[in-house]
Amino acid sequence: MHLVFDADDTLWESNLLFERVIDDFIDWINHPTMEPGAVRTILLDIEAANSTAHGYGAEIFLRSLHECFEHLLQRPPDDEDRARLTELAGPVLAHTIEPIADVEDTLDELGGRHDLLLLTKGAEAEQHAKIAKSGLAERFRRIIVVPEKNAAVYEDLVRAEDLDPAYTWMIGNSVKSDINPAIAAGLGAVFIPNQNTWELEQAELDGAGVRLILIDRFRDLLRYF
C-alpha cells in the first residue's frame, strides 16, 4: 500500500499559528470603526488574491499583513510599523512546529508495512525547512513539494512513482487540496478534519461512490492500514 501524506495541519499545526498572528494583528490595529470580523474578512480577501498571484508561505502572509495594514489605515507602514508586523509574524516566519498528537508513533507503525510519501504545497525552501524541523523526514521514502495541489499533480505523482491508484491513498485535512483532487485522480482518500484548517482550503466534500475514509484522529489510521 502507498500512503501519501499532507504536511501542514495534518502532521503538525500550521494554520493555528497564522490565526494567532491574525488575532494579534487585529488587536494591534485596533481599528476605530471596524469590527474584528470585518478586518479578518478584508485580510482573507487579500490573502486569497496573493495566494493566486504569488503562491503560499510565510513571506506571502507577511506581504498580506502589510497590504491589509495599508488598506485599513490608508497609508503604507513606516519603519516602526514594518518592524512590528515582522515581530507579530515571528512564529510563522520562524517555521515553528507544533506536532499533532501521535503522528510520530503512528508513522513508525505504518512505515513498517507500507510505502510512505509526503506531498505538500507551498514555498519549496520553507516547506523543506518545516519538514526538517519536524524530525519526520526520514519516515518518508520521498518528499515532494509543489506550488499547488490539483488532480493533475496527483496523476503526475502516480506516473513518476509508478504507483497503483487502487492501492494508493492520500491522507490530509484539506478537502480542496488533499481529498477532492486525489479522488478525481483515482486515488483513495483519508480525511482528517482539523478545526484550524485555513478558510481558503474549505470546499464541499465530493465523496459519493469513491474510496473515502473519515477519521477523527491521526492514530485512527492504524485501524485501516
Does residue 102 carry a pLDDT above 80?
Answer: yes
* Cβ contacts of 4 within 8 Å, gap of 6 or more: 117, 118, 119, 157, 168, 169, 170, 171, 182, 187
**Predicted local confidence at residue 82, as pLDDT:** 95
Which pTM does this prediction carry?
Answer: 0.89
Does residue 79 carry a pLDDT above 80?
Answer: yes
Domains delineated in the chain: 2-12+99-223 (3.40.50.1000), 15-93 (1.10.150)
Does residue 124 carry a pLDDT above 70?
Answer: yes
Distances (CA, A) of 219 to 61, 110, 215, 224: 31, 10, 9, 10
Nearest in space to 71 (alpha carbons), one of 89, 50, 93, 55: 50
Nearest in space to 40 (alpha carbons), one of 51, 29, 32: 29
212: its cell numbers: 473515502
Does residue 73 carry a pLDDT above 70?
Answer: yes
pLDDT range class, residue 207, cuts 50, 70, 90: low
Least confident of 33-42, 72-81, 201-210: 201-210
Share of residues in the chain with pLDDT > 90 (%): 85
